[in-house]
Chain A
Amino acid sequence: QVQLIQSGAEVKKPGASVKVSCKASGYTFTNYLIHWVRQAPGQGLEWMGVINPADMNTNRAQKFQGRVTLTADTSINTVYMDLSSLTSEDTAVYYCTTELLYAHNFEHWGQGTVVSVSS
């Protein structure tokens, strides 16, 4: 079965960067896009961006342009989300989620990674 296993919780100071990983298994890695969605405490879901592991093309929400870097390592079926210049407003649970190529929905979800930003 499809599984997305994310890296553990992170505590960062303002201005720092965080890198969250998402290891996929149970399917052909290049058949699905991987999106990143975050959820601030008590808030709703927010789409951040997407990477296509087949060709490494990425697209990010305008809000995160210049601050989010999405990469993938096909040798270990893992996608990474790097978020820089952190502020307290980046405190959230970060999820990776799959989209079957161009199905326009988020089918499988990782367990979430808590990122806390505090001085």
Chain B
Amino acid sequence: QSALTQPASVSGSPGQSITISCTGTSGDVGAYNSVSWYQQHPGTAPKLIIYSVNKRPSGVSNRFSGSKSGNTASLIISGLQAEDEADYYCSSYTRNISFVFGPGTAVTVL
């Protein structure tokens, strides 16, 4: 059982914006600004797209953004494109000096 909670699936039409939530506890998401998000296409390794809640690695589209409020973090994908269809995972550092992932959210572009 995953320690973080994510919706199983989210969908949107091209050009729309979607939001994926990631809910944890005061022991992980709420404890640090150490939430990161990963995009995974089928058969490939995950790719870091957001770190430290709202920072983008070099080369990642600015259509991806992140935020956090209390024990819930969010990934926003704006201007949805066909290539954004993938699984998205949130992760958080925890007070137990460990890391936890969410179960993943499948994004479908209609």
Tier of interface size on chain B: 20 to 34
A105 touches B97 (CB 8 A): no
B103 close to A (CB within 8 Å): yes
Q: Are B51 and A45 in contact (CB under 8 A)?
A: no
Cβ contacts under 8 Å, B34 to chain A: 104-105
Count how many pairs of residues, one from A and one from B, have CB atoms less than 8 Å apart in the complex.
Answer: 58
Kindly list chain A residues whose C-beta atoms are within 8 Å of the C-beta of B38: 45, 106
| Contact, CB under 8 Å: A110 / B45 | yes
**Interface size of A in residues (CB-CB distance below 8 Å):** 20
- Which of A37, A106, A109, A110 has the largest number of chain B CB atoms within 10 A? A106
Q: Complex Cα distance A46/B89, Å? A: 11
Q: Are B98 and A45 in contact (CB under 8 A)?
A: no
**Residues of chain B contacted by A104 (CB below 8 angstroms):** 32, 34, 36, 51-52, 93, 99
**A106–B49 alpha-carbon span in the complex (Å):** 10
Interface centre among A35, A105, A109, A112 (most CB of B within 10 A): A105
The residues of A that contact B97 with a CB separation of less than 8 Å are 59
Docked-complex contact A45 and B104, CB < 8 angstroms:
yes
State whether B91 touches A44 (Cβ < 8 A). no
Q: Give me the interface of A with B, judged by CB distance under 8 Å.
A: 35, 37, 44-47, 59, 61-62, 95, 97, 103-107, 109-112
